Amino acid sequence: MLKEIYIRNLAVIKEAVIPLGDKLNIFTGETGAGKSILINGINAVLGQRCTKDIVRTGCDKAEITALFTDISEDVCKKLDELGISHDSDEITVTREISADGGSVSRINRRTAPVSLLKEIGSMLINIHGQHDNQILLDSDKHLQILDDFGGDYTLLNDYRATFRELQQTARRLGELKKLEQSRAERSVYLNAIIDDIGELELCEDEDDELEKEYSAAQNSEKTIIAIRNAVSAITGEEAANDMLVSAETELAGYTDGSEKLNSLYERLSAAEIELADIASELEAVADKIELDGNRLEYLGTRLGNINKLKRKYALDNNGLIRLYDDACREVMQLEGSDGEIKDLSEKREELLHKVTEQAKALFNHRENIAKRFTERVTEELEFLNMAGVIIRVRHEKGKLTVNGMDSVEFLISANKGEEPKPISKIASGGELSRIMLALKSVIADKDSIPTMIFDEIDTGVSGKAAQKIGIKLREISRARQVICVTHLSQIAVMADNHLLIEKQIAGERTETNVIQLDTDGRVDEIARIMGGDNPSRLMLDNARAELKKAEKL
């Protein structure tokens, strides 16, 4: 529960230490005294949004610290997960708001993000303000209220798990079907790649090896051609050898008379023999050079095909191999997705059947809850001086959503003989406050939140209805701590711990103080609420009488 609140420099509150009891704590005070500021301070320490405007004028920062005792196992578990110690089952939660707009949050003096304060705060305190009455006017919120009353979320959680699995399956199936057309086009493209490259059956670095072999083969062919040409020049028609023979013949008849001519003739004869020998050796060399014309043709054709694909896909030899392998893998995956579509379609049908059956079970479960809900709320409304009000739950089947197939709306009839209609159309402000209190009352024992705060629960009510609200608040406070801000004496007299929010002028500044009232102080404050400032002795006597009457209720 909330044991104590320390506030410093929060709007008109300069400094205040506010002790709270474990039952019904009532705050009263004149209009504008600062009751809303107190609630804003509690909201701030619970991680709710706040602005720099709440910092007291002229101060650097505002500080709100709340001391919680007897914290629940769920809160302890959460703190353990975060490594935050909580000796003696107590924690302090602090929020500092700077005048420049920044803020710092702490749990047991350890810095914590505001989101964590909000999460922990939701486990510690349930605040009801006027805005909560709007929940009753929003039929979309009624299903949640009904589930909260039921308290058992097993069927809902099981349904949601199946529903989300169905959503994921349907989403994946839709994606695959949407990709079918592009997949078919992709498959055509990939198969063209496979046909193009696969036909060549490429090997790693094959083009380099082929280039070397082809270059060597081309060189051998050129060498043989050169030798053949050389031999032909020596031994062919009008070749060098024939010319030497002709030269010899011309000189043969004239060598006897000239030693010089004879020497030259002998040299010609020797040249003829040498050329014939050269030609013979060239032939021998040519015969030894290996040349496979078919191989050369094959090499040229294969290199041409490889180079053509390299240009087409702008890749080298090894890049073509990788492209081919990737295309083969992707084609297999695309072909396998057909099976996935079939499997997913079957799974979707199974899940749809399952989630429909779960939704029916959930609907029937809520139907039973709705009956108990109307009975309990009707009892509470009768107690709260709304005996003529009839409340109904319009419960219909609709489309499947994450919350089931249920459409729920609360209907009321405020006057006998009138058909129940949506709350938003006929409920007054006072009726909304009492209906919400009735709902809070029937749901109170379904959660583990130890503290409930009611701000302006008395809006639009007075007299006996106000007294009934006070009695109900005290009844709730016997099971958990209740904090209530009110301006009605019928509610204030029910307090176990009565605190006065009082505005005073100190020098040139306005200050708000929070005072824990004793018996005499309570009499004065109740009399003020009943009759205004400077109450008469009769009014004071009436206040004492009301306090004693409240003790006996």
pLDDT on residue 257 = 66
In the predicted model, is pLDDT for residue 431 greater than 80? Answer: no
Specify the DSSP class assigned to residue 419. Answer: P
Task: Decide: residue 286, CB within 10 A, 0-12 exposed, 13-18 middle, 19+ buried.
Answer: middle
Length of the chain: 553
Query: How many whole angstroms separate alpha carbon 462 and alpha carbon 373?
Result: 26
In the predicted model, is pLDDT for residue 405 greater than 90? Answer: yes
Reported as a single tens digit per residue, the pLDDT across 272-281 is 777 777 777 7
Sequence spans of domains, the chain: 1-129+456-517, 190-331
Give the 3-state secondary structure of residue 389: coil
Segment 535-549 mean pLDDT: 90
Q: Above pLDDT 90, what percent of the chain? A: 26
pLDDT band at 211 (very low <50, low <70, confident <90, very high): confident
Strand partners, 64: 7, 95
Angle 73-82/114-124 helices, nearest 10 degrees? 160
pLDDT band at 132 (very low <50, low <70, confident <90, very high): low
Q: Are 444 and 377 in contact (CB under 8 A)?
A: no
Nearest CA to 496 out of 515, 473, 514 is that of 473
Reported as a single tens digit per residue, the pLDDT across 63-91 is 999 999 988 888 888 888 888 887 778 89
Query: How many whole angstroms separate alpha carbon 361 and alpha carbon 197?
Result: 60
* Centroid of chain to Cα 119: 17
The residue type at 546:
E
Nearest CA to 529 out of 516, 546, 553 is that of 546
Q: Are 103 and 96 in contact (CB under 8 A)?
A: yes
The residue type at 118:
K
CA pseudo-torsion sign 121, 122, 127, 132: positive
pLDDT band at 229 (very low <50, low <70, confident <90, very high): confident
Q: Topology of domain 1-129+456-517, per CATH?
A: Rossmann fold (3.40.50)
pLDDT on residue 221 = 72
The residue type at 217:
A
pLDDT on residue 290 = 61
Segment 290-300 mean pLDDT: 71
Q: Which of 83-92, 227-236, 311-320, 516-525 has the lowest mean pLDDT?
A: 227-236
pLDDT on residue 414 = 74
Q: Cite the DSSP H helix spans in 384-446.
A: 423-426, 429-443
pLDDT on residue 517 = 94
Query: How many whole angstroms separate alpha carbon 434 and alpha carbon 484?
Result: 14
Highest mean pLDDT among 226-235, 253-262, 327-336, 362-371: 362-371
In the predicted model, is pLDDT for residue 525 greater than 90? Answer: yes
Nearest CA to 103 out of 66, 62, 67 is that of 62
- Show Cβ contacts of residue 514 under 8 Å, excluding neighbours closer than 6 positions: 13, 16, 17, 18, 27, 38, 499, 500, 501, 502
Give the 3-state secondary structure of residue 86: coil
In the predicted model, is pLDDT for residue 253 greater than 70? Answer: no
In the predicted model, is pLDDT for residue 95 greater than 80? Answer: yes
Reported as a single tens digit per residue, the pLDDT across 140-193 is 888 988 998 888 889 999 999 999 999 999 998 888 777 777 777 788 888 888
Where is 407: in which H helix or E strand? strand 404-413
In the predicted model, is pLDDT for residue 126 greater than 70? Answer: yes
Start-to-end C-alpha separation, the chain: 25
Segment 421-425 mean pLDDT: 80
Reported as a single tens digit per residue, the pLDDT across 496-505 is 999 998 888 7
Query: How many whole angstroms separate alpha carbon 110 and alpha carbon 178?
Result: 52
* Centroid of chain to Cα 91: 30
pLDDT band at 396 (very low <50, low <70, confident <90, very high): very high
pLDDT band at 225 (very low <50, low <70, confident <90, very high): confident
pLDDT band at 24 (very low <50, low <70, confident <90, very high): very high
pLDDT band at 25 (very low <50, low <70, confident <90, very high): very high
Q: Cite the DSSP H helix spans in 390-536.
A: 423-426, 429-443, 463-477, 489-492, 519-531
Query: How many whole angstroms separate alpha carbon 230 and alpha carbon 78?
Result: 100
Query: How many whole angstroms separate alpha carbon 93 and alpha carbon 5?
Result: 10
- Mean pLDDT, the chain, rounded, equals 84
Highest mean pLDDT among 29-38, 42-51, 454-463: 42-51
Segment 329-333 mean pLDDT: 83
Query: How many whole angstroms separate alpha carbon 140 and alpha carbon 145?
Result: 10
Give the 3-state secondary structure of residue 285: helix
pLDDT band at 464 (very low <50, low <70, confident <90, very high): confident
Give the 3-state secondary structure of residue 455: strand
